[in-house]
Structure 1
Amino acid sequence: MRANSEQLVARLGRWSSGRGPLYLLLAVRLRALIDDGELPPDTLLPPDRVLARWLAVGRGTVVAAYDQLQQEGKVVRRQGSGTRVCAADLPATRGIAPSGVVNPLLLHLLSPPDGVTLLTCAAPDEPPPALIEAYQAAAARLARVRHDIGYHPAGHPTLREALASYYRARGVPTAAGQILVTNGAQQALTLLANLLVSPGDTVLTEAPTYPGALESFRDAAALFRTAADAGEFCAALADRPAVGYTVPTGHNPTGAVMPALTRRRLAALAGEHDVPVIDDEVPAELFFAGEPPPPLAYYGTAEQLITVGSLSKLVWGGLRVGWIRAAPPLISRLARLRAVHDLGGDVLAQLASAWLLSRVDELRRERTALLRRRHDHLRAELAGRLPDWTSGPALGGQTIWVRLPYGDADAFAQVALRHRVAVAPGRSFDPSGGHGDHLRLPFLFSEETLTESVARLAAAWHDYDGGRHPHTLRALVV
């Protein structure tokens, strides 16, 4: 099927009215038409020159927009055949980065391979007994509810107050009006990206960083600037990106923890340069050394410092309750934005979450003790079976960041799949496409599962090596 140029222009509407480069604005609008089914699979799009003439733009604008969509897996461009919308059965096309790297987290959630141990998703693999107890308490409370239709776009008042109390206990003065409850932290990041980022805006992130956040920013057509460390991140705030995003405690994927002095400096610079900085605290409660460090908001004003959290890592991924702590005006804008798509979350889950927050210290002690044992077990297994792989110890979180002695992590991941273990290669965590020699490995699973997983990885590494990489070549690659 061929798309009629005149009709396509009408469907595009006021595509150029936003901020940012024209090619990105055009790509965003075309992507929306593809995602909404208005441009069905296998539709032949107009040639570059033809569409450029109809849109009154340079041919380079259309070429760049088509190239962007091809990198995202939305279209296929072939010389002599033109530009066509991709087939609908391509897996997880939302998870394809501009570098062409498929986000394995999304891919394996959408299409889990049979008989494969998934080391790609870092979340608890079974609900703890406390969650069952929390739902029982919540159900009893729900039975007493009267005169409540259950729609709470900003979150149930009980949970909002429980979260405000949670932050006050951590030294951060907080009122319920500074809390927005979301369906998990991923929705929180998506709402923030939609509100704070326009097409072509620059988002500052660490490299590596959490790939789910990168997907939210990509969906908003952001451009990325990466920082290799906290010092570089702080310095880059002077260029006033639209948003900064950081994971300072139990960093995903490295497990690192940002020092207090760096937190103080980052908070001060965010205020000085008036840059909103998103502090992703989802893994913060998994700090191994006791109570987690305070969030960035402890060190600065609420206007620039935005905290995101959830119970998915501490309790269970299936408990889809997250939140945003920010200044009341921003929370009001986010609540209005959320109401357009979602009138509110599951009330029973929110009541259960309030109950769990009242026992957060006990939950943390139990969870971190278990994770520390499994962290040590995984590193011991790697040292025994794959001594050439290097990684530093995690100070918190659920994952370690492993460097391969040579080769390409994406290629190795394909070999690992044939050995029935899925791993997340490093490029998925770096918007600049770097860290191609790294893997993220979670230590969430039982000791038996971790032992078996490392055995499979060792067998896969032997096959990947297979005597085809002489030591002289290894030295060149490292």
Structure 2
Amino acid sequence: MNGANLDDLVDLLGRWASGRGPLYLLLAARLRALIDDGVLPPGQPLPPDRVLARRLAVGRGTVVAAYDLLQQESRVVRRQGSGTRVAELHLPATRTADGVPANPLLQHILHPPDDVALLTCAAPQDPPPAMFEAYAEAGERLARVRDLGYQPAGNPALRAALAAYYTGRGVPTAPEEIVVTTGAQGALTLLAGLLVSPGDTVMTQTPTYPGSLEVFRHAAAVVRSAASIENLRERPALAYFVPTARNPDGAVMDHPSRRRLAELAVRHDVPLIDDEVCAELCFSGETPPPLAAFARGEQVITVGSLSKLVWGGLRVGWIRAAAPLASRLARLRAVHDLGGEIFSQYAAVALLRRLDEVRAWRVGKLRARHDHLCAELRARLPSWTFEPALGGQTIWVRIPRGDVDSFAQVALRHGVAVPPGRSFDPVGGHADHMRLHFLFPEEELSRAVNNLAVAWASFDGAGRTVSRHTLVV
């Protein structure tokens, strides 16, 4: 990069160091914004570490750490001898109104493409009959209530119902230990806002739910993967695990590992989030105990939601935490939005009473569609590998050659949107993986797999399967 271009970049960076947190995170955030907005285009060379550090009057380590973080996110490529460049294959993230970069996975939610099978968003589109009946009951109940509706901790009836739900699962819970949120994503955002400061380390599994990674990065945390639960000894500010029906691979953690994880959190005084959004979707028919069942301390925090069990548009989630923490969360929630929408909370109370019925209805559909998707993949794409899920809504698939970022572009041209594996990895790994959901009816799943097979034949260049598959629209 010549002197003039270096001057241009420094001008574009502007007052990058004026925020809160470590300098390398602030520099990475500004460079990320310039890349995501297309101001720094794919292939654009960036200044050498020492050159940029000298110009910005910071230590070389600040620039190195910022570049390394962007490389983990697949936004830049660093090679010995050729320097640092904006990644050619980076998919520009859509930016929200407040300038926060969104995960590439969210592009299809914010701007859904026409005539494309979206295997990117794993949320049920078909509500059970019980949901409509629950809303009818909620309407009758609301007609009898005289209430302002501003309840930052959540509606008392729903908090009591959720407390009873956890008590029934072997974790004695009082309503004061429940905070109702706008879905599980709202719960994670609230927890990160209270427990994470810029520069803090957050530890997660890999692969993991990508929405959590975006929340923690938005909080300016350093997100690291945990190779094993023993890594909790690094004493992060927060740990995030999905032990039951994990997104993206449907794995279920065994009881000894749950106990060990909870004990480590207590021993090292690490707040541990147990994401139970898909916990009621185990194909065995049994719901494993939450991590809080294995811990006596206050470190284990449980997050849940009805969006996967009932319907994606039912934005009712919750946090189960020690009463002092729940109180602090409720005060923070009041600052944000004074509380959630009450009508849906009344419906949630009715749905929790019919939990067994709703679970049987949803899991029955998911198990059948899971088996159908697995059979279709084995028949049409035998070179792809995966492990059947033990629950949840998704499987984790590996392609034998190439990377999914590139294949996703080909698949999109064949009418199927697939999420690349690096979005599920805190350090941008798993480039040869993708997550596929099985929420569509069997006929739609067959059509999607057929078109993936056509796309793969084109991408792989073998051509030997083209004659056996025809693109289905």
Q: TM-score, normalised by structure 1?
A: 0.82
* Structure 2 counterparts to residues 304-453 of structure 1, below 5 A: 304-453=299-448
The 3-state SS of whatever aligns with 1:185 is helix
Displacement, 1:66? 8.6
Displacement, 1:70? 10
C-alpha contact (below 8 Å) 1:104/1:120 kept by paired residues: no
Report the AA paired with residue 232 of structure 2.
L
- Structure 1 residues 415 and 356: CA distance shift in structure 2, 3 A: same
RMSD: 3.3
Q: Partner residue of 2:114?
A: 114
C-alpha contact (below 8 Å) 1:184/1:322 kept by paired residues: yes
- Structure 1 residues 133 and 176: CA distance shift in structure 2, 3 A: same
Q: Distance in 1 between matches of 2:268 and 2:237?
A: 11
C-alpha contact (below 8 Å) 1:263/1:296 kept by paired residues: yes
Q: Distance in 1 between matches of 2:354 and 2:435?
A: 30
Correspondent of 1:263 among 240, 258, 270: 258
Q: Partner residue of 2:94?
A: 92
Q: Partner residue of 2:177?
A: 178
Displacement, 1:127? 2.2
Report the AA paired with residue 162 of structure 2.
L
Displacement, 1:250? 0.5
Gaps of 5+ in 2: 1-7, 41-46, 77-91, 465-473
Displacement, 1:65? 5.7
Q: Partner residue of 2:142?
A: 142
Q: Partner residue of 1:84?
A: none
The 3-state SS of whatever aligns with 2:166 is helix
Displacement, 1:467? 2.6
Q: Partner residue of 1:204?
A: 203
Gaps of 5+ in 1: 76-89, 95-99, 470-478
Deviations, residues 95-129 of structure 1 (Å, cap 9, x unaligned): xxxxx9x8343111011111100001111012222
- Structure 1 residues 465 and 144: CA distance shift in structure 2, 3 A: same
Report the AA paired with residue 406 of structure 2.
A
C-alpha contact (below 8 Å) 2:72/2:427 kept by paired residues: no
Displacement, 1:69? 7.9
Is residue 2:217 matched to residue 1:218? yes
Aligned residues: 432
Is residue 2:25 matched to residue 1:24? yes
Q: Partner residue of 1:472?
A: none
Q: Distance in 2 between matches of 1:373 and 1:451?
A: 13
The 3-state SS of whatever aligns with 1:344 is coil
Q: Distance in 1 between matches of 2:298 and 2:70?
A: 35
Is residue 2:271 matched to residue 1:276? yes
- Structure 1 residues 109 and 312: CA distance shift in structure 2, 3 A: same
Displacement, 1:139? 0.6
Q: Distance in 2 between matches of 1:302 and 1:141?
A: 37
Q: Distance in 2 between matches of 1:319 and 1:440?
A: 23
Displacement, 1:165? 0.6
Between stretches 405-414 and 278-287, larger displacement belongs to: 405-414
- Structure 1 residues 375 and 50: CA distance shift in structure 2, 3 A: closer
C-alpha contact (below 8 Å) 1:424/1:439 kept by paired residues: yes
- Structure 1 residues 3 and 342: CA distance shift in structure 2, 3 A: farther
- Structure 1 residues 138 and 269: CA distance shift in structure 2, 3 A: same
Q: Distance in 1 between matches of 2:111 and 2:300?
A: 36
Report the AA paired with residue 386 of structure 1.
L
- Structure 1 residues 66 and 410: CA distance shift in structure 2, 3 A: closer
The 3-state SS of whatever aligns with 2:418 is strand
Correspondent of 2:452 among 436, 457, 470: 457
Report the AA paired with residue 250 of structure 1.
A
Displacement, 1:26? 5.7
Report the AA paired with residue 276 of structure 2.
E
The 3-state SS of whatever aligns with 2:165 is helix
The 3-state SS of whatever aligns with 1:113 is coil
Q: Distance in 2 between matches of 1:396 and 1:104?
A: 25
Deviations, residues 26-53 of structure 1 (Å, cap 9, x unaligned): 656x699x89xxxx9979xxx9999989
Q: Distance in 2 between matches of 1:320 and 1:422?
A: 24
Q: TM-score, normalised by structure 2?
A: 0.83
